[in-house]
Structure 1
Amino acid sequence: MTGTAPRYALYYTPAADSALWRFGSATLGYDAITGTDIAFAVPSGCDGLDWPELTAEPRRYGFHATLKAPFELANGRNEGALRAFARNYVAGRPPVRLTGLSVNALGRFIALTPSEPSDALQRFAFDIVQAFEPFRAPLSQTDLARRLQSPLTPAHRAYLEAYGYPYVGDVFRFHMTLTGSLPDEQVAPVKAALAQAYAQAVPSGPVRIDRVAIFKQESRSRRFLLLDNIPLG
């Protein structure tokens, strides 16, 4: 593949009328439903930072948690078939209940992650990776080289070869990214500020992974847009 075709991804993204969607989208300054910039909700204490720059990378993708990473369509597959398969697949799956989400630092970026581990979520995510694999075109040499720039274990490399993405299966970690990579000295204060903002904006308690979204990127220079957000069950 040349890297010029549209890319698709399978994400979890919350319902458009939820407090979680409003919080994540405002943090990133981007509404992936309309494809438009929106006003930033800069956390208290972060006014002196270049918030648009700190969130530039996750803004390209929209607020989400990756289930199957972006891919070009395999030969013989088309968008209509992908969407139809997704509707049929999702209709037969029950939601996954998490005890909650919390703001954490993953290395140098900040994300929402499950408050407690969930084996059901791990199985759910890997099932999606495998089920939609027939729709994925092989990685281009450029994309493969980009992935290989990261330090990968033998397990990561095996997953990369099998599924086009190294962080699946037992190394998958559900996360909803809120910032790009931060300077070391900003990680702790930005995490604390986002944790406070999240607590104020989103009711505490269980979170249901109750839908699967298809996102589309028309070209590598464009942002991802929501195509479908399909309720489970």
Structure 2
Amino acid sequence: MFHSRYALYVTPPLTSDLWRFGCEVVGRDASTGRDVEGFAPEGHDAESWRKLTDEPRRYGFHATLVAPFRLRADLDAADLFDGVAAFARGSHPFEAGELQIGRIATADGRAFVALKPSRSARELHAFEEKAVRKLDALRAPLTDAERRRRELARLTPLQRYYLDMWGYPYVLNEFRPHFTLTNALADPKLVEKALRWDYQMRVAAPLLSVETLALFGERESDGQFEILHQFPLGAGRRAKRVATRVMTAGFID
């Protein structure tokens, strides 16, 4: 399996209520690659719900640390694996507080429903900044086409600077940790209310424990992201150099 881009994400433990809830809502399990069908909050049937979640379903349930990037041309997948493994060994597990249902506004006036930390989540912010700065050397520079797809006119001057500097506009001071659950919606209020009820019923432990760093890959065949490897934070022993599912990168413009 070839991968066009890679990303570094936070996921809850894959055996947790949080992970199962997120996979059910977005409709796919990125750890197995399988669709998870049948979920529908109040006011929706399963088919209509899947239409509202096709974008987060493509990426899988996650919170972004390092946004999708092409691997630098002089590196290969083993270099990527080594770099991420070393970073993870130098970090430590932590708790990022409880997650709650909320929304994230977009520049065009819409909003998507998401799980967000209920408090400041300082350790999560520090972890994101460390990942962005220390792992940036793995990233190929943005192409002009990639910059244009970010709709530069909608970005603030600081966001445009971050895009040029780090390849993504929503980092460091602009970082807003969240787990996306729906597409951007013109009126998310009813969906937010329905998901809040389901969340309370399905998730007994809403505390986010950050124990691993997840390397995701974008499949060249269909553009879906899958978990390639989970790197334990602070693991004492060196991980094997070749990840089972990490293949040599295929490149896109």
Structure 2 residue 127 is the aligned partner of structure 1 residue 129? no
**Quick check: 1:71–1:136 contact (8 Å CA) kept in 2?**
yes
Alpha-carbon deviation of 1:34?
Answer: 1.8
Which runs of structure 2 are paired with 1:1-20 in the superposition (5 Å)?
Answer: 6-20=4-18
Aligned residue for 1:123, secondary structure, equals: helix
Aligned residues: 228
Counterpart of 2:226 in structure 1 is 225
Alpha-carbon deviation of 1:209?
Answer: 1.6
* C-alpha distance 20-5 of structure 1, shift in aligned 2 (>3 A): closer
Note the aligned Cα RMSD (angstroms): 1.8
- Name the CA distance, whole Å, in 2 between partners of 1:15 and 1:86: 18
Alpha-carbon deviation of 1:49?
Answer: 7.5
Alpha-carbon deviation of 1:10?
Answer: 0.2
Structure 1, unmatched stretches of 5+, are none
Alpha-carbon deviation of 1:221?
Answer: 3.8
**Quick check: 1:105–1:111 contact (8 Å CA) kept in 2?**
yes
Alpha-carbon deviation of 1:206?
Answer: 3.0
Alignment partner for residue 168 of structure 2, among 165, 169, 178? 165
* C-alpha distance 115-76 of structure 1, shift in aligned 2 (>3 A): same
Q: What amino acid is the match of 2:229?
A: D
Structure 2 residue 91 is the aligned partner of structure 1 residue 88? no
Structure 2 residue 191 is the aligned partner of structure 1 residue 190? yes
Alpha-carbon deviation of 1:18?
Answer: 1.2
Alpha-carbon deviation of 1:157?
Answer: 0.8
TM-score, normalised by the number of residues in structure 1: 0.92
**Quick check: 1:8–1:70 contact (8 Å CA) kept in 2?**
yes
Counterpart of 1:58 in structure 2 is 56
Q: What amino acid is the match of 1:109?
A: F
Alpha-carbon deviation of 1:210?
Answer: 1.7
Structure 2 residue 141 is the aligned partner of structure 1 residue 141? no
- Name the CA distance, whole Å, in 1 between partners of 2:120 and 2:9: 19
Structure 2 residue 112 is the aligned partner of structure 1 residue 109? yes
Alpha-carbon deviation of 1:6?
Answer: 1.0
Structure 2, unmatched stretches of 5+, are 106-110, 235-253
Alpha-carbon deviation of 1:149?
Answer: 4.2
